[in-house]
Amino acid sequence: MTNIPRACVIGNPISHSLSPKLHTYWLNRYGIEGEYTALQVTEDKLEETLRRLPSQGFIGANVTIPHKVSVMQFADQITDRATLIGAANTLIFKEDGRIFADNTDGYGFMANLRQGAPDWDPKAGPAAIFGAGGAARAIIVALADAGVPQIIISNRTRPKAEALRADFGARVSVVDWVQADKMLEEANTVINTTSLGMAGAQEFKVSLNGLQPKTVVTDIVYTPLRTPFLDAAEKKGCITVDGLGMLLHQGVPGFERWFGQRPEVDEATRRAVLG
């Protein structure tokens, strides 16, 4: 076993994850002696793995599908934002074996939007969200925190959107999936958090007729990088931001905590991860 600090991403499946490329690029860029790997872990081995990793030189981990929710039960300390979201994607292993859990998905989402649309003002009007899954939850917490005055959600399975409204209160409202177009007319920000449009998934077929020019539109799907959703928004004169930056920025807080250097997310980082 080496003595260099080690971190990893835990999920199942895990071979598709871009996190090893991202963190290894940052380690090389900043000349840090460290290691970041991918670990495929099944649900029944999750606790055992988490308890074992610190003794093998691991100082932390990212967590991805399907463990983001279940990992919370093994944490000794949980940040407020991870508690609100009900899931964690970043773990820090303390020297005494305790596990600290955070969720940086909402942070990554906001940092990407601010970098891709520097003039975007979250307070300028409602945000319209397609989807009500785990990523939508993290994004709602971040948008509310940034002062977005109203958050409108539309989801194929309406009760899931209603559950988010019940959790996050009066600022959140729900529009039926077949009428999703209507929420776009007054939106200052429009976000696709569904998997529609992702390579291998179904197409995004909801009408976007209501989109207004100059609206900031982002898709958190990043395979392909330019989704049909973003192309349609661009044709309407919207300001579009792709989803890769969300993945890159969500890695920043973990890398900083583990390796002591706040890493840059820039064009070179994007190229390194896509290359």
Q: How is residue 81 written in tokens?
A: 């934002």
214-243 CB burial, b ≥16 within 10 A, e <16? ebbbbbbbbeeeebbbbebbeebebbbbbb
> Is residue 133 part of the contact set for ligand NAP (CB under 6 A)?
yes
Q: Which two tokens stand for residue 182?
A: 């209507």
Name 120's Cβ contacts closer than 8 Å, sequence gap at least 6.
113, 114, 189, 216, 239
* Minimal distance, residue 47 CB to ligand NAP, in Å: 22
Active site residue 205: no
| Cβ burial 169-192 (10 Å sphere, 16+ → b, else e) | eebbebbeeeebbbbbeebbbbbb
Question: x/- string (CB under 6 A) for ligand NAP, residues 206-225?
Answer: --------------xxx---
| 105 CB burial (10 A radius; 0-12, 13-18, 19+) | buried
Q: Identify which range of 156-164, 165-173, 178-186, 232-240 contacts ligand NAP by CB under 6 A.
A: 156-164
Kindly state the smallest distance separating residue 238's Cβ from ligand NAP, in Å.
Answer: 18
Based on the shown chain and the rule CB under 6 A, indicate whether residue 114 belongs to the binding site for ligand NAP: no
Query: Binding to ligand NAP by residue 182, rule CB under 6 A?
Result: no
The letter for the amino acid at 132 is A
Sequence-distant (≥ 6) Cβ neighbours of residue 27 within 8 angstroms: 33, 34, 35, 36, 259
Q: Does 25 bind ligand NAP (CB under 6 A)?
A: no
125 contacts ligand NAP (rule: CB under 6 A):
no
Return the C-alpha torsion angle 18, 131, 79, 87, nearest 10.
Answer: -70
Structure tokens at 124: 């300028």
- The binder of ligand NAP chosen from 22, 101, 135, 143 (CB under 6 A): 135
254 is an interface residue for ligand NAP by CB under 6 A: no
Quick check: 243 binds ligand NAP (CB under 6 A)?
A: yes
Of 62 and 193, the one with the shorter C-beta distance to ligand NAP is 193
- Residue from 38, 53, 105, 216 touching ligand NAP (CB under 6 A): that is 105
Under the binding rule (CB under 6 A), the answer on residue 11 touching ligand NAP is: no
Options 21, 68, 235, 236, the catalytic residue = 68
Chain residues that interact with ligand NAP, rule: CB under 6 A:
105, 108, 131-136, 155-157, 160, 193-196, 198, 202, 220-222, 243, 246-247, 250
Catalytic residues: 68
